[in-house]
Structure 1
Amino acid sequence: MLSKIRDHGQPYFGGIMLAVVIAAAATFLSEHYGAPVMLFALLIGMAFHFLSQDTACKPGIEFSAKTLLRFGVGLLGLRLSVGDVESIGLIPVVAIIGFVLATLACGAFLSRLLGRRMAFGLLAGGSVAICGASAALAITSVLPPRPDREQDTLFVVIAVTALSTVAMVIYPVMFQAMGLGDVESGFLIGATIHDVAQVVGAGYSISEEAGVIATFVKMLRVALLPVVMLVVMFSFRGAQTQKVTLPWFLVVFVVLAIVANTGMLPQAVIDLVAELSRWCLVIAIAALGVKTNLAKFREVRPSYGAILIAETVFLLMIALAFVIFVGI
């Protein structure tokens, strides 16, 4: 049994250990210099991009950046209290639904305006509105097949990853410069940044409270992925589609959040899981940094890039307008 486990895990060992070492270095620097650990993990990881395609590291890096990330996000459910939800309120939750639908409509409109196909507009709008690259891959699975569909998806994935990485660094600084509190900043980060990893990194770079709020808001957006996929399916009824399901890490997040608020678990267990979740997320961000190739950002087609940038700005503007004029 142990030999089978060792043989199965051997291909992942090198990449996981690389991410763990980067995460440990980022944690050390953060504790000694007071800068965000997520930012350190991302930047140090980017310095090791040359190892991202190494056969000894690639499987472990992919595992850390995807599976370990989702596991860490799922565990965050234990850190979500009823007070965190109440601090947001019902109206902001309804607003999140409006943001997603408005961004999806914006993508379709801009695609038509710039002479692109409706399918690309829904693909781009859904990836910006929900969860970046993951949403792009999910939405592609329910779009009608075309010879250039894979290329379109690749461009969207590259662009939203680039925009999310930039937003992870810029948004926390911008929101704090605007004088917004942790709750408002966490809400905006969760409502506007595309990928889950960057939402977690940006939120926790501000504070623990902002990180929890950002993750909760992001989970609301992720929960709408099946709805968006159904909208896309019904827009192209003749297409062969796959089964629409909820992401497993969202289910884990919700279940653990319910368990945490029943009072059944001792605080020591919750603290232990919280620390495990934190390490999973820092390791995942380190792996994401290793995967980040700045040169690929230049490969995005100008018109495609314009659509995705416009959608990103649109989502940021309506979210900011809500916080400023309606409030949380």
Structure 2
Amino acid sequence: MTTLADRTRDAIAKLRSIAPGMVLAITVALASLFISEHYGAPAMLLALLLGIALNFLSEDIRCGPGVEFGARTVLRFGVALLGLRISFDMALELGWPVVALVVGGVVATIGFGMAVARLFGFGPRFAVLSSGSVAICGASAALAIAAVLPQKKNAQDQLVFTVVGVTILSTIAMILYPILGSLVAPTDTVIGIYLGATIHDVAQVVGAGFSVSDTAGETATLVKLIRVAMLAPVVVSIALIVRSRLGHSAETSGEAQPVVPLFLIGFIVLATLNSLVALPEIVLSLAADGSRTLLLIAIAAVGLKTVPKDLLKVGKTAALLLVVETVFLATFTGVGLMVIGVI
């Protein structure tokens, strides 16, 4: 039987393991904030670039756990806390055409990936793995989808290809999309819609959005979470349809990934609270500051984890398929925004 003393010792051991990496991520975040305040550059973008420049430090066995904790757990707390900055009225302001476009982009991208994968020499398994990760939420979607697919000889390699590829592409998109969006989008809200509907990972969506403005960041996060909410029905559909087509048993290896991310639940709960209850201004202000701080630390950690040369490990053909799927989603969303009259 686990005693309170045992749990306390485990907690202290956990804190000690993540402390060096977290101190590193916090230091990068503070440095980026200092530069931003004195020179006007976006703090989020600076945190990412400074983190990438120092990525070799995350390879230290002492820093690895803390950097991973910052890039995953701190990020999720930061995004969940954003719920207190967003109400359902914002979702209503987006309008059903925008929501339909975002959902349609997820479905269309997966369908496109399934259709063109054979041209690149891949079967349905890698097609749905790559297109699902591009369409929904990057590496997190790849892990969830892989958990319900039957295992093949090269299954782990395909998963690694996908995770590394979408992470790198998402980082590139975080830097390029805000620049491209500012050239064609009439408002920060529209830029936020585009960023949230096209960039793969939540961290990079947040970084890209808030590098433009608070309005763009909040809108991008809201739109992104609509895509994340699609993870559950998509994973269930993949498990029922794709595995049936492949003709394999339902056996998989490894631990199943959570289908509905807890941070999404937290975001919805807090957004609901903010929509139904008139919270004190000081609470909203503290939540806003806390969310920005946590997200800045998380972005720094993401940068520390990113190694540019890892692109070489993805494989040229697999990387090209991911690029094509990414371009399709970006084009589909851009055209869709023009069709519904937002641009």
* Equivalent residues in 2 for 1:1-328, closer than 5 Å: 5-234=11-240, 235-237=242-244, 238-240=249-251, 242=256, 245-328=259-342
Residue 217 of structure 1, CA deviation: 0.4
Alpha carbons 2:143, 2:257 under 8 Å: kept: no
What one-letter code is carried by the residue in structure 2 that aligns with 1:280?
Answer: L
Aligned residue-pair number = 328
What one-letter code is carried by the residue in structure 2 that aligns with 1:177?
Answer: L
State the secondary structure of the residue aligned to 1:213.
Answer: helix
Alpha carbons 1:229, 1:244 under 8 Å: kept: no
Moved more, 86-95 or 275-284: 86-95
Residue 112 of structure 1, CA deviation: 1.9
Q: In structure 1, how many angstroms separate the alpha carbons of the residues matched to 2:238 and 2:35? A: 45
**What TM-score comes out, normalization by structure 2 length?**
0.92
TM-superposition CA deviations, 1:186-214 (whole Å, max 9, x none):
00000000000000000001110110000
Q: In structure 2, how many angstroms separate the alpha carbons of the residues matched to 1:151 and 1:5? A: 34
Alpha carbons 2:139, 2:166 under 8 Å: kept: yes
Task: Name the CA shift for 1:249/1:110 in 2 (closer, same or farther; >3 Å).
Answer: same
What one-letter code is carried by the residue in structure 2 that aligns with 1:226?
Answer: A
Gaps of 5+ in 1: none
Alpha carbons 2:147, 2:257 under 8 Å: kept: no
State the secondary structure of the residue aligned to 2:148.
Answer: coil
Alpha carbons 2:144, 2:259 under 8 Å: kept: no
Task: Name the CA shift for 1:243/1:26 in 2 (closer, same or farther; >3 Å).
Answer: closer
Q: In structure 2, how many angstroms separate the alpha carbons of the residues matched to 1:141 and 1:295? A: 27
Alpha carbons 2:80, 2:264 under 8 Å: kept: yes
Alpha carbons 1:145, 1:239 under 8 Å: kept: no
Q: In structure 2, how many angstroms separate the alpha carbons of the residues matched to 1:132 and 1:243? A: 14
Q: In structure 2, how many angstroms separate the alpha carbons of the residues matched to 1:326 and 1:212? A: 21
Percent of aligned pairs with the same amino acid: 44
Q: In structure 2, how many angstroms separate the alpha carbons of the residues matched to 1:230 and 1:178? A: 37
Alpha carbons 1:87, 1:183 under 8 Å: kept: no
Residue 129 of structure 1, CA deviation: 0.3
What one-letter code is carried by the residue in structure 1 that aligns with 2:334?
Answer: L
TM-superposition CA deviations, 1:63-92 (whole Å, max 9, x none):
000111111111111111244223211111
What one-letter code is carried by the residue in structure 2 that aligns with 1:322?
Answer: G
State the secondary structure of the residue aligned to 2:47.
Answer: helix
Moved more, 1-10 or 300-309: 1-10
Q: In structure 1, how many angstroms separate the alpha carbons of the residues matched to 2:120 and 2:14? A: 48
State the secondary structure of the residue aligned to 1:103.
Answer: helix
Q: In structure 1, how many angstroms separate the alpha carbons of the residues matched to 2:337 and 2:41? A: 27
State the secondary structure of the residue aligned to 2:151.
Answer: coil
Residue 4 of structure 1, CA deviation: 5.4
State the secondary structure of the residue aligned to 1:253.
Answer: helix
Q: In structure 1, how many angstroms separate the alpha carbons of the residues matched to 2:20 and 2:273? A: 35
TM-superposition CA deviations, 1:173-195 (whole Å, max 9, x none):
10102243111100000000000
Alpha carbons 1:182, 1:207 under 8 Å: kept: yes
Alpha carbons 2:58, 2:305 under 8 Å: kept: yes
State the secondary structure of the residue aligned to 1:52.
Answer: helix
Q: In structure 2, how many angstroms separate the alpha carbons of the residues matched to 1:272 and 1:201? A: 20
Alpha carbons 1:226, 1:244 under 8 Å: kept: no
Q: In structure 2, how many angstroms separate the alpha carbons of the residues matched to 1:56 and 1:293? A: 18
What one-letter code is carried by the residue in structure 2 that aligns with 1:181?
Answer: T
Residue 296 of structure 1, CA deviation: 0.6
Residue 245 of structure 1, CA deviation: 3.0
Alpha carbons 1:201, 1:285 under 8 Å: kept: yes
What one-letter code is carried by the residue in structure 2 that aligns with 1:239?
Answer: A
TM-superposition CA deviations, 1:234-258 (whole Å, max 9, x none):
1214323658631100000000000
State the secondary structure of the residue aligned to 1:236.
Answer: helix
